[in-house]
Chains A and B, each alone.
Chain A
Amino acid sequence: MTQPATLAQKILARAAGKSRVEPGEIVTVSVDLAMAHDSSGPRRWRARLEALGVGLWDPSRVVIVSDHYVPAVDAESAAILKTTRDFARDFGVEHFYDMRGICHVILPEHGHLRPGLFLAGGDSHTTNAGAFGCYAAGFGATDMTAIVATGETWTMVPETIRVEVSGALGEAVSAKDIMLLLCRELGMGNHFKAIEYGGEAVRAMDMEARTVLANMAAELGGETGLVEPDATTLAHIRAHGGKAEEADITRWRSDEGAPYERVFTLDASTLAPQVAAPHSPSNSADITAHEGVRIDQAYIGACVGAKLSDLHMAASVLKGQKVAKGVRLLVAPASAKVTEAAAKDGTLPILSEAGAIMLPSGCGACAGLGAGLLAEGEVCLSSTNRNFKGRMGHKDAEVWLGSPFTVAAGAIAGKIIDPRTLLAERRRAA
C-alpha cells in the first residue's frame, strides 16, 4: 500500500514528474500557469528577457493583469501601464486583462483555475487560487522572470497544517473572521508551510469565501493555502468557462491519515466577528475588545474583501441606512464583472443610497497606490488583508481590519461596533 500523502505533496509530485515527494525535499516543477500584474510583471521582466534573448516559454500559459496602477493617476503610473500593454502585445501574451479587476479575482472569473495545477504568481496573495485545489505560490521578480522564460522553477515540498473548521458560521460572521483569528492563533511565521482548510464550515462555503481562506494563507506566512475540491468547486469552474472533471475531486485531496504537521481545530459556531488592530493582522481580537474606536474612513476593497459576496455582506448591513456624518465609505469592487453583477442584482443602489463612494476596480488604496489613502492620524476600518504601517497612506495612519459586515457596520456607527448588535437593534425597531 502506498503511504498516505497530503494534497500539497500530490500536486508537487505530479508537477515534478515523480511518484512521491516528501516534505523538506527540493523539487524542480513544471509550471502550469504563470500570473503577474503591472507592478510585478512586465516592467521587471522585459529587460531581463531581452538580455537573455528569449520570449515567453508558452504565451498561452501566462496571464497578465493590470490592477495595481489602475487607472493611472500620474505620468509614472501611466508609463507602467503602457509598459504592461506593450509587453502583452510584443510577447504575444494570450491572456491580458487590462483594468478588468484584481488579478486573484480575475483568474477564477475567467476559468483559468483547475484542481491540481501548479500556479506561480508574481504576487504574495497568489495563494488565493488554492481555494480551487491548485498549488499556488507567490514568487519575486527574478524567480518569475526565470519561470516565464523556462516554464519551470524549484520549490521545497512543504509540511501541511490542516485547519479543520466544524460547525456553522453565525450571523454576520464570515471567512475573513476565521482568518483574522488564525493570524493570531497560528501566527504569521508559518514559512514554507501549506495551510489546508477543511471541515463542515469550509464545505458549506461558496468559492468566494474559500478564496478568503486561501488568500490570507499569505498572512500566516504560508507557502500556499489549499481547499480540497468538491462539487461546489467544479460547478464554479464550469460556470466560468473553465475545465474540470469529476475525477479531480477524488484525485486532488489529502489521503486518509495524511502526514499533517499539525491539525488546528476551530468551531465556527462559537466565532465572534474579529478585528485586527494596527499594524498587524495578528493583532486580532473579538470585536468586543475594540468597540467604540472612532473611524474616519471605511474601506471595502481588495482581492480578499470586495468580491460580489463581500458587497452583498456590506449591503445586508447598509440597506436603508446612512453612513455616519464625518465618515467616508469607499467601495472599490474587485472586478468589472463584480460591478456588473452588483448593478444587476440591486446591490450597487443599496451602497450608493447609503452614501458609499464608488471607486475603480483595482488594488487602489490596498496597495497604497490608488484612491482612498489616509492622512496622518486618520483611522480606517478596512476589508483588506494587511494593515502594515504606512501601507494605506501616511505612516501614522491607523488601519483596522475586519469583514465587510464589520466595515459596513462601522461606516454607519462611525466607530467599531459589532455588526450583530446593529442588526439585532434594527430587528427590534422593525
Chain B
Amino acid sequence: MSAAAKTGRAFVYGDGIDTDVLAPGHAMKLGPDGLARHCLEAIDPGFASTVRAGDFVFAGADFGIGSSREQAAISLKKLGVAAVFAKSFARIFYRNAINIGLPALIFPHEGAVSAGDAISLDLAAGRVSNITTGRDYPVSPMPEHLRTMIEAGGLMESLKTRFGARELIQ
C-alpha cells in the first residue's frame, strides 16, 4: 500500500440515493454544518453521528440524482467522507463532488463491500482495497491535475492557487 492510500470504514447503501436524501429540503435553511447533520437520515438516521473523517460511502446506481444542489456533495464532505463509490452517478452531482474536492468513483462490484468493512483507497494508483475481505479492485485513475484540485479543496480553491502563483511569477 503506497503512502497516498487512505483507510476508513465502509457505509453501504442501495440505488437511487437522491439529493433530497443527501441534503433534505426541510434542512436546507440550516447552513452547511446543520444541513450535514441530516445527510442520509431518511435511509440511515445514524449516519451523520457515526461517520468519521476518512470513511467511505458505497452505493448503487444513480447516486445523486435529483436537483443540482451542491449541498448534497458538500454535506458528505463536511462529515468527513473521503470518497463516494457508486455503480453510477448523476452527472451534476458527480461534477459538483469533484469540484468541491470529494472524490466520486465508479465502482460496479456489487456485494464486494459490506457495511463496516475496512477500505483503503489509493487514488493515484487507481486502486481500492477491501482490507476485510483482502480483495483489490481497480478504479479509473484520476489524472494528476484532478487529484491536485481535490487536494487543494476543490475547483475554486485550486484556481486561487493557480492564478495566485501566476501573479507571483510575473
Contacts and interface: CB of A to CB of B under 8 A. Distances in A.
A145 B160 CA distance: 12
Contacts of B143: 26-28, 154
A32 B98 CA distance: 23
Contact of A192 (B88, B146, B162): B88
B68 interface: yes
Q: Is the interface of A mostly helix, strand, loop or mixed?
A: mixed
Contact of A191 (B70, B89, B156): B89
A154 B99 CA distance: 10
The residue in B68, B155, B167 that gathers the most chain A C-beta atoms within 10 A of its C-beta is B155
Secondary structure type dominating chain B contacts: helix
Contacts of B145: 28, 154
Contacts of A223: 91
Given A139-B95, A140-B96, A24 B106 contact: yes
Contacts of B162: 150
A139 B92 CA distance: 8
A52 B91 contact: no
Contacts of A142: 70, 99, 155-156
A191 to B, nearest CB: 5
A189 interface: yes
Contacts of B65: 189
A72 interface: no
A53 B95 contact: no
Contacts of A337: none
Interface residues of A, number: 24
A224 to B, nearest CB: 11
Q: How large is the interface on B (under 10, 10 to 19, 20 to 34, 35 or more residues)?
A: 20 to 34
A52 B156 CA distance: 9
Nearest to B62: A189
B106 A48 contact: no
Given A143-B95, A146-B159, A191 B140 contact: no
Interface string B136-165: 000010110110000000011001101100
A426 B146 CA distance: 62
- Report the 8 A-B pairs with minimum CB-CB distance, sorted nearest first: A191-B91, A52-B163, A24-B140, A28-B145, A54-B163, A146-B155, A191-B90, A154-B146
Interface of A: 24-28, 48, 52-54, 139-140, 142-143, 145-146, 149-150, 154, 156, 189, 191-192, 221, 223
23 contacts: A24-B140, A26-B142, A26-B143, A28-B143, A48-B156, A53-B163, A54-B163, A140-B68, A142-B70, A142-B99, A142-B155, A143-B99, A146-B159, A149-B159, A149-B163, A150-B159, A150-B162, A154-B98, A154-B143, A191-B90, A192-B94, A221-B91, A223-B91
Given A24-B106, A149-B159, A154-B146, 19 more contacts: A25-B140, A26-B142, A26-B146, A27-B143, A28-B145, A52-B163, A53-B167, A142-B70, A142-B156, A143-B99, A146-B156, A149-B163, A150-B162, A189-B65, A191-B62, A191-B88, A191-B94, A192-B91, A223-B91
